[in-house]
Amino acid sequence: MPWLWRLWNTPSPLSALADLNLDPHNVFLVSGIGCSAKTIHYVNANGAHTLHGRPIPYATGIKLANPNLEVIVIGGDGDLMGIGAEHLVHAGRRNVDLTVLMFDNGVYGLTKGQASPTLRRGVKTKALARPNIYDAINPVVLALSVGFTFVARGGYAYDVKHLAYLIREAIRHKAPHSSIYCSRAQRIMM
């Protein structure tokens, strides 16, 4: 498959790109900093890492400069719901044709368990002295409330076929509107 390197002989949800027969030269993946940012290294397409919390404005600039590209943002819950939350909100308002893939595990994985904005109240991670005292932000509710026109949530990160289906549908969604996909799991592996 020209699109994807396979890890441990396991298909990836990003096999959706190959299933859509997209030319890899017409796809641009943008990621911030964090565990999910490594994803772009496993896909044979154009890509760029940006500052933490800034993949959406960077991707918006790419899409405005070349509207023919399929631009996909890949970020974690800390990247997109923490420092980059305002960019997520305005992406929904602006109706830029982007696909946003959010990997939601409730923590900043690179800092070994610091609570992200989506960590549920009462959950204790190894980086927290006590269980989390804050209510979690719900990325689906936020996305719907700010104008995203395709919103989907994968229930289980290891259900690769279902995740690939959701990603395909998010990319196919062609209104001048953004799309968002969220996955809620304790671990994300591609």
pLDDT digits (tens, 9 = 90+) for 61-100: 999 999 999 999 999 888 899 999 999 999 988 888 889 9
Classified as helix, coil or strand, 125 is: coil
DSSP assignment of 28-73, as one string? EEEE-SSGGGGGGGGBSSEEEE-STT-HHHHHHHHHHH-TTSEEEE
Q: How confident is the model at residue 165 (pLDDT cuts 50, 70, 90)?
A: confident
Place of tokens 């819950």: 77
- Which CATH class name applies to 13-184? alpha beta
Sign (positive or negative) of CA dihedral 117, 123, 124, 126: negative
56 and 32 Cβ atoms separated by less than 8 Å: no
* H/E stretch holding 75: strand 70-76
Residue 55: per-residue pLDDT: 94
How far is Cα 158 from Cα 44, in angstroms, rounded to an integer?
22
How far is Cα 103 from Cα 54, in angstroms, rounded to an integer?
15
105 and 64 Cβ atoms separated by less than 8 Å: no
Q: What is the pTM of this model?
A: 0.87
Residue 16: per-residue pLDDT: 83
Closest CA to 97 of 167, 165, 174, 168: 174
189 and 159 Cβ atoms separated by less than 8 Å: no
What is the bridge-based pairing of β-strands 150-154 and 114-115? unpaired
Structural domain spans, the chain? 13-184
What are phi and psi for residue 59, nearest 5 degrees? -65, -35
Q: How confident is the model at residue 40 (pLDDT cuts 50, 70, 90)?
A: confident
